[in-house]
Amino acid sequence: MNKLLRPYLAFLLMGSLLAFTSCKDDEEPGPEDEQEVITAVTLSLTPTGKGQDTEATISTLTGSPVQNAPLTLRPGTEYTAVVTMTDESKNPVADMTAEIQNERDEHLLVYTFTPEAGSDATVVVTITDMDQNNLPVGLESTVTTGAGIGNGKLRVLLKHQPGNIKTGTNTTNGETDIDVSFNVIVAN
């Protein structure tokens, strides 16, 4: 009788093994964190005294940055500046500025002005908005032009600095979310 049970016992063990293997849940990958997509950066400047507002947008939707118009500034003038960012690949266009504002403790906008050869233009950007740790964000700033005239480029770099890597002064930490350079004309 012992010999009769062995084939059945072997068959029962193999069946159990197959049942456990086939019933095991396949691990499905979890949702991936979507990276922020920013395809357009708009810089809007309003003079604090007399003068005309100026605004320019750089779009990277086609792959290469395209600026719609140069930023035309007057020498010796202070401007209030606001940066807005959008994702033009979505319909309707998604406002990414609110997301950056909500995660302001993880983001830093860095501004660098480089004059063209022979240009006397100077542009200084002072960030005026801070995060909850009193570190600069850069969505709002003051832009001041010097007395000289000429052309140059204003580079706008958005750094994503999660965790404790944001110091407010280290502009190399973290990932670069956007890196564009606006054509600037400083003229009377």
Contact 123, 154 (CB under 8 A): yes
Strands 71-73 and 175-186: parallel
pLDDT in tens, the chain (188 residues): 555 545 554 544 455 444 444 444 444 443 333 457 899 999 999 999 888 999 999 999 998 999 999 999 999 999 999 999 999 999 999 999 999 999 999 999 999 999 999 999 999 999 999 999 999 999 999 999 999 999 999 999 999 999 889 998 888 899 999 999 999 999 99
Residue 138 to residue 90: CA distance in whole angstroms: 25
- Structural domain boundaries enclosing 113: 40-186
Instruction: Evaluate whether residue 35 is within a structural domain.
Output: no
- 89-119: burial string, b at 16+ Cβ within 10 Å, e else: eeeeebebbeebeeebbbbbbbbebebeeeb
Instruction: Evaluate whether residue 28 is within a structural domain.
Output: no
Instruction: Evaluate whether residue 141 is within a structural domain.
Output: yes
The residues with which 86 forms a beta bridge, in sequence order, are: 40, 95
Task: Give the other-Cβ count within 10 Å of 134's Cβ.
Answer: 7
For position 170, what pLDDT does the model report? 86
Instruction: Evaluate whether residue 103 is within a structural domain.
Output: yes
Q: How many domains does the chain have?
A: 1
Residue 6 to residue 11: CA distance in whole angstroms: 8
Instruction: Evaluate whether residue 167 is within a structural domain.
Output: yes
- pTM exceeds 0.75, yes or no: yes
Return the amino acid letter for 106. E
Instruction: Evaluate whether residue 136 is within a structural domain.
Output: yes
Alpha carbon of residue 75 to chain centroid: 30
Instruction: Evaluate whether residue 124 is within a structural domain.
Output: yes
Nearest to 105, CA basis, from 148, 53, 167: 167
For position 120, what pLDDT does the model report? 98
For position 164, what pLDDT does the model report? 87
Contact 173, 166 (CB under 8 A): yes
Instruction: Evaluate whether residue 57 is within a structural domain.
Output: yes
Side-chain-side CA neighbours of residue 32 (13 Å): 3
